[in-house]
Amino acid sequence: MTLRAKLRETVAARLVPELKRRGFSGPDKIGGNAISHEFRRMRNGRDERLSVQFEKRQRPRFVLNIWVEPPGGVESLIDVGGTWIQGRVSQTKGAFTRSWFRADRPLWQRLIGKRTSREQEAVSQAIAYLAAIDDWYEHRRETDIVRVMTFTYPNALGKQPNHTLEGICQPADGLSKPSM
**pLDDT tens by residue, 134-161:** 999 998 889 888 999 988 888 766 666 5
Distance CA 8, CA 175 (A): 44
Q: How confident is the model at residue 165 (pLDDT cuts 50, 70, 90)?
A: very low
Distance CA 81, CA 98 (A): 34
Three-state SS at 12: helix
Q: Residue 92's Cα: distance from chain center in Å?
A: 14
pLDDT of amino acid 162: 52
pTM above 0.85, yes or no: no
| Secondary structure element (H or E) that encloses residue 46, with its range | strand 46-54
Residue 68: closest CA among 58, 83, 53, 80 = 83
Question: pLDDT per residue over 115-137, tens digit each?
Answer: 667 889 999 999 999 999 999 99
